[in-house]
Chains A and B, each alone.
Chain A
């Protein structure tokens, strides 16, 4: 170890890997993973979220699962909760849509309105 800068670099890198244990800020992505969700293809959706977040190096976003939300016909369902606690519910998700949610919603803060439960119900 030759300098404080070097130590700081190791610290940041290691903290990124452990952020999940300390992170209380940032977005939370909650994927419905009950039987209905899994049958409708929730796993590829979650994997797509993980991959995209990894690819972009976004560390303050956690991906968790939940049980059946109750609207099984709209599965796979994903809820995105922003740092202020506002919840957006996306329905009939797939891997491509997941990538879009990461890019538009989590990175740029713009809700993908056309994918939400509200716009689906209007159809």
Chain B
């Protein structure tokens, strides 16, 4: 067996791949070859490390050095300096602040310090395309334990006692769901995995599947044993090509090792798994629509009850859990329900993965214990707001969720407190917004998304959301009236109460929560026709400050509609009637003499 003295881990998550991590890998191979190091240094492709904002990421062991924003040109230096001569390339280190060279290891990076990785435990650690590496870190041990030592009832009891709740957004107790499905009597049952992650800005499930596909496969087999199913389906969107590819590889390898198939671990338990690709309709993340789509029909929801646990796929009892929920199962079985229940808050146990994006320095993937405050996520882990701007609000739960304003920065993040704040956990998208964000515009953005994605089956969602969008359009164009706000509130409440599925029922949430915390902004739009953030274009004008203008004429040159005029020694003027408010003049003005007038 060949032992390597160094391992070079290159992130193969979608974020880093799109910034050429694959080229970096092949460049490593080339330079290692040139330096005759191929027998000493091994290059490993891993899943997402989470610090996507600083990608592509390369970690070199045994030192555990984390290099960030690595370019293809940097590879030669890493090979010749670090791997050949043992000199760490400091300029590429993530934690540069330490010049003494003590803290060069990945553990010292601020971004990781407050995180606790359970669902992401193997992401960025193992090669997701090698089942052996998963097994090395206790992979399939939980399945072995369940099949040889536990009854299905004991498995369900363990999950119930762990306090695990669905990570897809709803937060329903996972153990109860398993119990209901187990109690349904039928000759055939199914286990499904919802990997149809559709919230704008959310990529937790994709990262788990890309970085650790076997954890989901193992958990689904455990679930199959617990509820009495021998067939599983993973419903994943076709827009996730890397995740689909790695899942396929993982399923093949699990079959080769006999971890899927017949008589697993010599028992009479059989379990098989297939992938179904979705075409990217948001509504197919709703459980009944998802199952209809797996059956090969048009992805539309149906009324519940009957719940999937009673009548699901092909009218057979079906267990449906989200990717992240499944990823938590093997550690719970291995370490016990008590261990998991000791993490988090009273009613929300364990950890939650968030895809943090928007106006924040460390865009990426973080996993924190439930009950961590928003402030810790935004400032300690996320590195704060860029350009010294102020935090205005964080949006959780995507188009189904709501906004949390700065006054609640110290609220603990768990299912119940988020609901109390008028938002929701959702699948884990967390979009940070700074002071330059218009909350009416944000509500409009999410509503545009739901209007597009509404399947059209039920009128409250199909017609109601469209009407709400029309009102928001009016308000942001400066044509809103005071009654519009009341109309919005009434419509929102009615749609919530009468829509068929989760998509429609939650579609008004972005409006309701922004109305709750930022009603004054709505009022300013309606009564004063003002957008204080300067986002809504019809309510603001670009003006040139005559005292500061040096008549250089650069603004007139960049203006695409030629609405700026002036001459030497006379200040330039913008003709507001022609201005399209592109902002190019303000960006280019060397004397910062152009302002937004709101």
Contacts and interface: CB of A to CB of B under 8 A. Distances in A.
Interface of A: 1-4, 7, 10-11, 13-18, 20-21, 23, 28, 30-31, 33-34, 38, 46-47, 50, 53-54, 57, 59, 62-67
B575 to A, nearest CB: 64
Given A7-B144, A47-B40, 7 more contacts: A3-B265, A11-B138, A18-B136, A21-B61, A34-B85, A64-B63, A67-B86
Nearest to A12: B136
Given A14-B132, A21-B125, A62 B5 contact: yes
B476 to A, nearest CB: 52
Contacts of A13: 1, 132
Interface stretch (B159-167, B256-264, B455-463): B256-264
Contact of A31 (B86, B135, B257, B259): B86
A59 B4 CA distance: 10
Nearest to B265: A1
Contact of A20 (B39, B61, B148, B258): B61
B2 A54 contact: yes
Contacts of B296: none
Contacts, number: 97
B141 interface: yes
The size class of the interface chain B forms with chain A is 35 or more
21 contacts: A1-B258, A1-B264, A2-B265, A3-B266, A4-B144, A4-B148, A7-B140, A7-B265, A13-B132, A15-B137, A18-B136, A20-B4, A20-B6, A21-B125, A33-B86, A50-B3, A53-B3, A54-B2, A62-B62, A64-B62, A65-B84
A101 to B, nearest CB: 15
B7 interface: yes
A50 B39 CA distance: 10
B183 interface: no
10 shortest interchain CB distances as A-B pairs? A65-B86, A14-B136, A14-B132, A1-B258, A63-B5, A15-B136, A62-B62, A66-B86, A2-B266, A21-B61
Nearest to A37: B85
Contacts of B144: 4, 7
Interface string B1-41: 11111110100000000000000000000000000000110
Contacts of B263: 2
Contacts of B5: 20, 46, 50, 62-64
Nearest to B9: A21
Contact of B40 (A2, A4, A50): A50
Interface string B261-290: 001111000000000000000000000000
B140 A1 contact: yes
A14 B214 CA distance: 15
Nearest to B260: A1
Residue of B6, B7, B85, B148 with most chain A CB atoms under a 10 A cut-off: B85
A31 B40 CA distance: 14
B77 interface: no
Contacts of B264: 1
B87 interface: yes
A76 B122 CA distance: 38
B98 interface: no
A106 to B, nearest CB: 14
Contacts of A66: 86-87
B62 A23 contact: yes
B133 interface: yes
A2 B2 CA distance: 27
A57 B1 contact: yes
Contacts of A65: 84-86
A3 B141 CA distance: 11
Contacts of B265: 1-4, 7
Given A10-B135, A18-B136, A33 B141 contact: no
Interface string B423-436: 00000000000000
B257 A1 contact: yes
Contacts of A50: 3, 5, 39-40
A62 B7 CA distance: 11
A78 B390 CA distance: 53
B273 to A, nearest CB: 15
A7 B5 CA distance: 26
A20 B133 contact: no
Contacts of B39: 50
B3 A54 contact: yes
B62 A20 contact: yes
Nearest to B145: A4
A52 B85 CA distance: 21
A91 B132 CA distance: 40
A80 to B, nearest CB: 14
